[in-house]
Structure 1
Amino acid sequence: MSCFLMPSSLCKAINADLARFWWGHNEEKNKIHWLSWDKLSFSKAVGGIGFRDLSIFNKALLAKQCWRILKNPEALWVKILKARYFPFTGLFDAKKGVRASWAWSSLLAGRDIIKSRARWQIGNGNSFHSLASMPLN
């Protein structure tokens, strides 16, 4: 889940299996539906059970991998990705390309999540930059 974007149909099917496990029924008896699935997926801090929506969790893990690319530019796997997919630009300016692998396409989905939520950072007051414009050496 942290390397590949899972199809939404697969995530929905797994979520449905989880719901059937908790709410399922058999010939003899039905299980009680205590709360709606939406409320069960709330975090425990706000009164839910903490079940995760697998589609959202998958995208969060992909965004975490992109964050690792930004924070560890000297890692071997990052250097290989950079040489293959974005040798002359930064991660946020990289394009998908015509023959992109499934892994690279998946990482771009995580990158887009970070990019859509990036904010300006004010340093010492003399300069500022956006996370989205941060170059990857």
Structure 2
Amino acid sequence: MTRWIKACLESSFVSVLVNGSPTKEFIPHKGLRQGDPLAPFLFLNVVEGLAGVSRNVVELNLVESLAIENKKIKRNFLWGWGSEGRKIARVSWKKVCEPRDVEGLDIMDIRLFNSALLRKWIWRLHSRKGGLWKQILESKYGGWRSLKESRVYNKDSLWWRDLKGI
């Protein structure tokens, strides 16, 4: 796929209008420019690829596994095995996750952080007045009001399902 995209970019010729007159054609070497007709197509290809990867991650239940593994790595760093054996947990995980100004280590809980980001998107959908991104979500899913529906549709993306779950 990347070779195909690269071939499309390198095989095209570009001419620039200077004072209404076209210049000599040249081959672009720095990627797409704003307004390039290939840009939306390339964007859709990337989004489809990411959607496929995220679908596979969910099907394999890797999201939960990654969150657990992340937490395990952080805990092992603080309290794991060392050359002297297992370290003593002198402070709770809850305290470790607290901000530094209240004497915590400010280690982020990924589940809480994800929940906060999803809530931020819900707030944006509700409070923002316009924008192409909002029009697309409203046409595809029905906007923020449809988040109140408990029913999940096959057309709903994983991200939209997560928003409904909040």
Answer whether TM exceeds 0.5 for this pair.
yes
- Opposite residue 104 of structure 2, the aligned amino acid is G
Tell me the TM-score normalised to structure 1 length.
Answer: 0.62
Question: Deviation at 1:91?
Answer: 4.5
More helix by share: 2
Report matched runs for 1:71-82 at 5 Å. Answer: 71-82=127-138
1:41 corresponds to which of 79, 97, 104? 97
Which segments of 5 or more consecutive residues in structure 2 lack a partner in the other structure? 1-53
- Residue 86 in structure 1 maps to residue 147 in structure 2: no
Q: How many residues align?
A: 105
Matched with 2:23 is none
Higher relative contact order (CA 8 A, sep 6+): 1
Deviations 1:31-81 (A, max 9, x none): 453312122112223332221211111111111111111222412111101
State the distance in 2 between where 1:76 and 1:107 align.
Answer: 19
- Kindly, what percent of the aligned residue pairs are identical? 28
Question: Deviation at 1:86?
Answer: 0.9
State the distance in 1 between where 2:67 and 2:94 align.
Answer: 15
- Residue 29 in structure 1 maps to residue 84 in structure 2: yes
**Structure 1 vs Structure 2 CA RMSD:** 2.7
For the Cα contact (< 8 Å) 2:79–2:89, is it kept in 1? yes
- Opposite residue 137 of structure 2, the aligned amino acid is L
Runs of 4+ in 1 over 4 A off after TM superposition: none
For the Cα contact (< 8 Å) 2:148–2:164, is it kept in 1? no
State the distance in 1 between where 2:66 and 2:128 align.
Answer: 31
Matched with 2:24 is none
Q: Rg larger in 1 or in 2?
A: 2
Question: Deviation at 1:14?
Answer: 0.6
Tell me the TM-score normalised to structure 2 length.
Answer: 0.52
Report matched runs for 1:90-105 at 5 Å. Answer: 90-94=145-149, 95-105=151-161
State the distance in 2 between where 1:85 and 1:78 align.
Answer: 10
Aligned partner of residue 120 in structure 2, secondary structure: helix
State the distance in 2 between where 1:78 and 1:108 align.
Answer: 16
